Structure 1
Amino acid sequence: MLLYNKALDANHTLLRMTALLAAWKAVTVEGEALRLFDFLIANPAHIHKLSVPRGKFAAKNDFKSYKNRYQSFEPKSLFNAMKETHCVVIERFVDLGILQPHNNHSEYKVQLENIPEELKKLAESSENSISSQAIHFIIENLISIPITGSDGLKKITNLMEYKYDVN
């Protein structure tokens, strides 16, 4: 049996990240945040599993309905499998001038005006297969959270090692 997972599809990743960047309208982004947020957009059911205090982000419970018995995977393994695709897509964004390395190689300056019009149109379309609900949740709740730290994105998503990070 042939299985397709959009999380590992470079074209779908490019579309998801474009949709996120277009909605986010950030001046700069950290590469790790972009990767974590893309994972959540590709796998919205994982939003329900965010490790946050009870009552914080009550809207995360809305993502229980995204659970799919055919999409059973170990989240960290899938996130690690997505790394190569994430790197390729980020490099493509750099080639297009959408992302420009900034200060260090983990932070990028965002140039939304360099997104090709057709790609932007497709990414913002309501008829694509991207969860706009997940993008809105991320923008409303997660973009202000630092990557590292005791309450950082790495810890609450439980997708990346965080214990040895320096704040």
Structure 2
Amino acid sequence: MLLYNKALDANHTMLRMAALLISWKAESLDSDALRLFDFLVANPAHIQKLSVPRGKFTDKNEFKSYKNRYQNFDPKSLFNAMKEIHYLAIERFVELGVFQSDNNSSKYNVFLEKIPEGLKKLAKSKENSISNQAIDFIVENLTSISITGSDGLKKITSLMDYKYDVN
């Protein structure tokens, strides 16, 4: 049986990232944070699995309804499989002028006005296949959390190694 997984579609990744950027309105970002957030937008069911203290994000349990029996995968393996597509999308945003590298680091300055109008229109559309509920959750709860550290995004998502990060 052939199954389509939008998480592994480069065009859908650009669309998800554009929708996230438009809602987030960040002036700068770290590519690891963008990758983690994109994974959550592509796989909203993983939000309910975030490893946070009980009662911290009570609305994360609303994402149980996104669970799909056909999307039975190891989250870390899928996240790693998405790595090349993430970097292609980030590279394309650099080419478009949406991202500007910040001294050869994993940080980028963001210029939302450079997102092409067609992509911006589709990203804002209600008829796209992106979970606005997931984007709203991420913007409201996760964008202010550090990537590294004992309570960082890498740890709470369980998608990236974090033990040897320097804060």
**Common topology (TM > 0.5):** yes
Q: Secondary structure at the match of 2:82?
A: helix
* TM-aligned CA deviation for residue 107 of structure 1: 0.2
The whole-number CA distance in structure 2 between the counterparts of 1:102 and 1:114 is 17
Matches within 5 A, 1:57-72: 57-72=57-72
Does the alignment pair 1:33 with 2:28?
A: no
1:98 aligns with 2:98: yes
Paired with 1:6 and 1:26, the residues of 2 have a C-alpha distance of 24
Partner-residue secondary structure (3-state), 1:29: strand
The answer to whether the aligner puts 1:5 opposite 2:11 as a matched pair is: no
Number of the residue aligned with 1:135: 135
Give me the TM-score of the superposition, normalised by structure 1: 0.99
2:12 maps to a residue whose letter is: H
Say whether 1:144 aligns with 2:130.
no
Q: Alignment partner of 1:87: what SS? A: helix
The DSSP-based 3-state class of the residue aligned with 2:144 is coil
Match of 2:77 in 1: 77
TM superposition score normalised by structure 2: 0.99
CA distance in 2, matches of 1:141, 1:103: 28
Following superposition, the deviation at residue 40 of structure 1 comes to: 0.1
Question: What are the ranges of 5 or more consecutive residues in structure 1 without an aligned counterpart?
Answer: none
Letter in 1 for 2:7: A
Summarize deviations over 1:39-96 as a string: whole Å, max 9, x none.
Answer: 0000000000000000001010100100011100000000000000000000000000
Please state whether the residue corresponding to 1:118 is helix, strand or coil.
Answer: helix
Quote the Cα distance in structure 2 between the aligned partners of 1:80 and 1:4: 17
CA drift at 1:104: 3.6
Letter in 2 for 1:95: E
How far apart are residue 2 of structure 1 and its match? 1.3
- Partner Cα separation in structure 1 for residue 83 and residue 136 of structure 2: 23
Q: 1:105 Cα shift?
A: 2.4
One-letter identity of the residue aligned with 1:161: D
1:47 corresponds to? 47
Give the deviation of 1:139 after TM superposition: 0.3
What is the letter of the counterpart of residue 81 of structure 1?
A: A
